[in-house]
Structure 1
Amino acid sequence: MCRDGACLVFVEVKTRTHGGYGGARRAVNARKRALIRQGAAEWLRQLPDTVPFRYDIVEVMYREGEVPEITRLCGAFGERDLAAS
């Protein structure tokens, strides 16, 4: 979890050594999103005030001998996304 200004951001980090299987976004399936939401809900419940929040995914693409490539997917999933799963 981190902050982006006033927004609380729940971040799932996925490391890959190749680009197969659809990358990080696909790896965060409906079950994983539900677990992330459960954890986020507990954090939010403990806060004294309501704060804006979102869910991001960070993909780290690692290839031996190269500088890792990092991609951040801001707002990778939301309420509508959960309902569609």
Structure 2
Amino acid sequence: MILATVVARVWADRKVDQFHGTRMMACRAHGDDSLTVAIDLVEAALGARVLIVTDQAATDLAGCPTDAAIVALVADTDPLD
């Protein structure tokens, strides 16, 4: 799982049929600053902290082939020691 912040909505001119009705969001991972585009399953807003699942878990939850899916809005985290 990846803890990230939503930084942008991704708009597509065309999508494969399986992606119709989905929202795609660009998310910046906490810690390593990498960028991931994920299908949004929780209606996340820009700036929201989210939890992203990847690989088969993302495909299973999204109902279509995908590498990443936003599955939770993160309200707070405890500081790391």
Specify the TM-score bucket, using the shorter chain as the normaliser: under 0.3
Higher relative contact order by CA 8 Å / sep ≥ 6: 1 or 2?
1
Question: Which structure shows the bigger proportion of residues in strand conformation?
Answer: 2
TM (norm. structure 2) is 0.25
TM (norm. structure 1) is 0.24
Look at both structures and tell me which one has the larger radius of gyration over its CA atoms: 1
